[in-house]
Structure 1
Amino acid sequence: MTERRFDATELVIFDCDGVLLDSEVIACSADAEALTKAGYQISTAEVIERFAGVPADAMYAAIEADLGRPLPSNLQAEVKASILARYRSELRAIVGAAEVLSAMRTRRCVASSSAPAKLALGLIETNLFDLLYPHVFSTTLVAQGKPHPDIFLYAARAMEVGRERCLVVEDSVAGVTAAKAAGMRCIGFVGGSHCPDGHAKRLSEAGATTVVSDLRQLMTFVD
């Protein structure tokens, strides 16, 4: 049975954007608008497909390589301001997130590509912060972001749990790839508003053991 694959789980590591927060469309839309204004024509859907789950610095470096020139020095600040403003008016938690975090007996934490301020604001605005604090980890703590495994390995060490007893919940190919590189089992999540048709297949091909569309399905596997 599928459930037996996760019987030894002692720690559930949640990605944040697109798993606990329905935030990917907000962030990727802000990036698409700013990049297009800067002369790099790209849609929100294309940002999601290429860069969901990837740290901002890595995304901007890839785009500068495409352009053959630096992006405007104020672009990241403009994007950050736009995202934070929209967080306060538009951001919602993923359906079932608070319910799952409140009910789950298995230890859990967050390992996210977001910067600490953005990560904290998103969790506070959606009333999830108190359900996770202080076990909230950003890739600013490690050398390399997703798809590298650094942040998941950091989270496991911080929580004092062996990688073989960790279960990652991820919505992006980069995140699933990072989890597999860390030697951890991974459940793919496709319940966010940013997930296109066929995304479950992409996550499975990247290495997700199973894929769910409702966070509440996690309780079948870990508790």
Structure 2
Amino acid sequence: MPGSGLVIFDCDGVLVDSEPISIRCTAAALNRFGYPIDEDGVFDRFLGASTASMVATVEASLGRPLAPEALDDLRREILAAFDRDLTAIPGVAEAAARLERPFCVASSSIPERIRHSLRLTGLLPLFEPAIFSATMVVHGKPAPDLFLLAAKRMGADPARCVVVEDSIHGVRAGQAAGMAVLGFTGGGHIAGDPARRERHAWRLKQAGAALVFDRMEELPGLVREVSG
């Protein structure tokens, strides 16, 4: 129904527990490219950012372009690691099934990676075809473009949308789109370190998250709460 509410999920770190894998692979690759960074640095600088945004930052710092084949190698390494290790965020399928409004995915990842991740974890049937990628817009997160595109395609009023995000970039994008944002800290890249979880929860709130949570079973009630 035009103007209806909508829940917009980020994918990595919200639907699938992919960020520990991606962060590990990305840190190793960037060091090979000559850009010194550890896993904490990747978390702080690039969590939630599109590949294009990360590459632009790295290339500006290095003063030279990254070889396209090097980026292709990184994508292959991440996907191979997903095949071995990727799991769904605990309880996310059950939580999505209990939502009282439509839902979709809007991720900084490329469409092939989003679908691959959802297929590996058994979540694809829940979301197909309501899958939106930063490759579909000019400006990725923290710009609002991707979330606004998802709302438009799903026939939803942005003011009645709720975004579920684990990253500062994503929270800022949801805020810029005029949507309520729930910050999620239950992914393995955050929940495994209590000090990081506390710090990241504070940063999500500072970026504009209305509420922060770490267990997916809480999601339906929180959506109702922030939706008024």
- The TM-score, its normalising length taken from structure 1, stands at 0.94
Offset from partner CA, 1:79-112 (integer Å, 9 cap, x none): 1000110111100111111111222232100000
Q: Show the counterpart of 2:81.
A: 86
Q: Show the counterpart of 1:188.
A: 183
Q: Count how many residue pairs are aligned between Structure 1 and Structure 2.
A: 216
Q: Which of the numbers 44, 59, 80 marks the counterpart of 1:49?
A: 44
Give the distance between the partners of 1:165 and 1:173, measured in 2 at CA: 21
Structure 1 residue 71: Cα displacement: 1.9
Identity %: 45
Give the distance between the partners of 2:179 and 2:222, measured in 1 at CA: 15
- Any stretches of 5+ residues in structure 2 without a counterpart? 191-195
- The TM-score, its normalising length taken from structure 2, stands at 0.92
The range that moved more, 57-66 or 191-200, is 191-200
Equivalent AA in structure 2 for residue 42 of structure 1: I
Structure 1 residue 207: Cα displacement: 0.2
Equivalent AA in structure 1 for residue 126 of structure 2: L
Structure 1 residue 123: Cα displacement: 0.2
Structure 1 residue 9: Cα displacement: 7.6
Give the distance between the partners of 1:202 and 1:27, measured in 2 at CA: 21
Partner SS for 2:68: coil
Q: Is the 8 A contact 1:106 1:222 kept in 2?
A: no
Matched, 1:219 2:214: no
Q: Is the 8 A contact 2:109 2:133 kept in 1?
A: yes
Q: What RMSD, in angstroms, separates the aligned Cα atoms of the two structures? A: 1.3
Structure 1 residue 49: Cα displacement: 1.1
Q: Is the 8 A contact 1:9 1:167 kept in 2?
A: no
Structure 1 residue 221: Cα displacement: 2.4
Partner SS for 2:67: coil
Q: Which of the numbers 115, 124, 134 marks the counterpart of 1:120?
A: 115
Matched, 1:177 2:172: yes
Which aligned pairs between 1:136-215 and structure 2 lie closer than 5 A? 136-195=131-190, 196-197=196-197, 198-215=199-216
Q: Is the 8 A contact 1:24 1:194 kept in 2?
A: yes
Q: Show the counterpart of 2:22.
A: 27
Give the distance between the partners of 1:73 and 1:100, measured in 2 at CA: 39
Give the distance between the partners of 2:18 and 2:171, measured in 1 at CA: 18
Structure 1 residue 141: Cα displacement: 0.7
- Any stretches of 5+ residues in structure 1 without a counterpart? 1-7
Structure 1 residue 40: Cα displacement: 1.0
